Amino acid sequence: MDLLSDILSRMKLSGTLYFRTSFTSPWSVKVPPFEDVARFHFAHKGRCFVRPEGEREPVLLDQGDLIVITRGASHTLYCDPKTEDLALQLDQVVQMSGFTGSGTLVYGDLGTDHETQLICGHFAFDRHAKHPLIDALPSHIHIRNYGETAGTWMENTLRVIGAEAGTAQMGSDMIALKLSEIIFAQVLRTYLMSEGAERPVLAGFSDPAIARALQAIHDDPSAPWTLEALSDIARLSRTSFATKFVRCLSTTPLGYITQWRMQIARQMLAESKAPMIEIAEQAGYQSEAAFGRVFKKHFDVAPATYRRQFAAPV
C-alpha cells in the first residue's frame, strides 16, 4: 500500500456528510467546534466567506473551492462581510429551516438570485490514532477550484456528490458518503505537492529521498531497520540522510519507526485477541519484555493494561 493510503487506512479515515445547503442572501451561520474531526465545505454553487476561529482574515470560498477545517474548530460561514456579526448558531438555522435530516437544508430569503449551495461534512479518525502527518497540518486547507486542481476524475466525483447529496433517490446517501472519503486523501495529496511541501514534518512526505525511506518503513515496519539500510534506499549517505530526515520530519528515523510501530501495536491490542508475542513481533520486537518496555514508555501503560482499557467489545 502506498505511504499516504497506509497512514489514512491505519488511522481509520471515515467521511460523514451533514447536508447540502441552499443558502440565499442575507445569511450567516456559526458552526460550533467538533473535537477530533476535520470539517469540510465544498462550494457546489455560488460563493461565501469562511472565517475559522482565531484567524485574522476570512477565506473567500468561490464556486468550485474546497476548505477543510483540519481540527474541527468553530467557524463562521457568511454571504457578505456585513452579515458576519449577525451569525446564528447552526442548530438555530437547522431548526428555523425545518430541516429533518434528509434533503437539502434551505435557509434565507425567497426569490433571491444570490444562492450558495455547499456540500458540508467531516472526516474522522480513530480517536486514539496519531500520526505526525496529521498533527502537522495547518488549521485549515483551502484549495481553489478543487475539481480542476485534483483532476477531471475528482471534478466528476464532486459533481456526483453534489447531485446525490440531499436527494431522496435510493442509495444516494451511501453513494455521496463513500465518495466523500476520497476527498480527504486527495486534499492531502494536493496540499503535500504544493504549499505543504515547505512546512515542517510535511516536507518529509514530499521529499523524494525521505519519502522512499518512509515507504520502505511502511511496507515492512517490523524489519530490523538500520540507518545504513534506510540511507541506501534514500540514495544518500548516512550522515546526509539522518540530517535531512530530522530537518524534514523533526524526529529521527528510529523515532519515526518507533512511533509507527506503536500505532500498529495499539490498534492490534484494541481490535484483536492476538497473543502478546504475535503483537510484539508485528511491531518489530523479538520478545514481549522488550516490546512492553517500549510500549509503556510511549503510552504510559503496559500493553495488557491498554488492551483491558480500550479493547473493542466482541
pLDDT at residue 290 above 90?
A: yes
Report all structural domains of the chain as residue ranges with CATH numbers, in order of start: 3-197 (2.60.120.280), 207-310 (1.10.10.60)
pLDDT at 168 over 80: no
Can you tell me the mean pLDDT for 274-278?
96
Handedness of CA 288, 292, 294, 295 (dihedral sign): positive
Distance (Å, rounded) from C-alpha 305 to C-alpha 314? 17
What mean pLDDT do residues 121-150 have? 86
Instruction: Quote the pTM value.
Output: 0.84
Q: Any idea which of 16-20, 158-162, 309-313 has the lowest mean pLDDT? A: 158-162
